[in-house]
Amino acid sequence: MSEQPQCECPQRRDFLKEFSCVAVGASIGLVPVAAGVYSAMDPLRRKASGGEPVRVTTIEALPADGVPMKFAIIADKTDAWNKYPATPIGAIYLRKISEGKVMALSSVCPHAGCFVDYRKDAKDFFCPCHNSNFSSDGAIKSGVSPRAMDALDVEVRAGGEVWVKFQNFKAGHPQKLPVS
């Protein structure tokens, strides 16, 4: 490395110059960092899509004995630059409660967001990730989930069409909070 200075270098620190070095250096370094961080914040200004009612099936297609049945939600999807018309964006369980009444449950586990299975033999919902267990109406039976399975707004329209307001909710909260 460099040898010890042999010159009569100025010992008195020139504070103005030193301050300028730091100020200029910091500001020029800040520009690319700030530009990058600002762009990386882009997702914060984008809202989650969905929330509009989607036609899922007809009430006739649901088992009369109230066994939940899985359905894909087909809707338009925007993924950054791509737009996909009528594509699967998620899945729900539908369950016929009584004549003309249907219950819709999100297939996403409220604990950590895994996909919950319905076990026909045990007649319950079971999350394969952390063993959360829900009854067929979505209530907690056992396990670590902070809340019951998320019920979705459902409407039976003319002709028995089942329309569901598909939404995702934040995982891990005791309350059901929609993902914004």
Partner 1 sequence: MIRPLLDWLDNRTGYRSLTKEALFENIPGGSRWRYVWGSTLTFGLAIQFITGVFLWMGYSASSQTAWESVYYIQHEMMGGWFLRGLHHWTAQIMTVLLVLHLMQVVIDGAYKAPREVNFWFGVILLQLVLALSLTGYLLPWDQKGYWATKVATNLMALVPIIGDDLQKIVIGGSDYGHHTITRFFALHAGILPAAVIGLVVGHIYLFRRHGITPAKPLRKKDEFFWPEQVLKDAIACLAVLATVMFLTIRFHGAHLSSPADPSEPFSAARPDWYFMFLFQLLKYFPGSWEILGAIILPGLVMLVIFLIPYIGKWELGHRFNIGMLVALLAGVGLLTYLAIAEDNRNPMYVAAVKQAVQDEKRVIELAKAPAGIPSSGAVTLLREDPKTQGPRLFVRNCASCHRYDGHDGMGVAVNDPQSASDLKNFGTRQWLAGLLDPAKVDSAHYFGGTRFKAGKMVQFVKRDVAGFTPEMRTQLYKVVLALSAEAKLGSQSALDAKDASLIEEGKKLVISAEMNCTECHSYREEKGGGTGPDLTGWASREWLVDFISNAKHARFYGKRNDRMPAFGADHILDQKQIGLIADWLRGNWHEPSASSSR
Binding site for partner 1 (CB under 8 A): 1-3, 5-10, 13-14, 17-18, 20-21, 24-25, 27-29, 31-33, 35-42, 45, 78, 80-84
At 132 the three-state DSSP class reads coil
- To the nearest whole angstrom, how small is the minimum distance from the Cβ of residue 27 to partner 1? 8
Considering beta carbons, is residue 36 or 63 the nearer one to partner 1?
36
CB of 52 to partner 1, least distance (A): 16
The residue among 114, 172, 175, 108 whose CA lies nearest residue 144 is 172
Query: Minimum Å distance from CB 57 to partner 1?
Result: 26
CA 82 to chain centre: 19
Least Å from the CB of residue 87 to partner 1:
9
3-class SS of residue 94: strand
Nearer to partner 1, 81 or 174 (CB): 81
One DSSP character per residue, 37-86 reads HHHHTGGGGPPP---SEEEEEEGGGS-TT---EEEEEEEEEEETTEEEEE
Question: Residue 20 or 58: which CB sits closer to partner 1?
Answer: 20
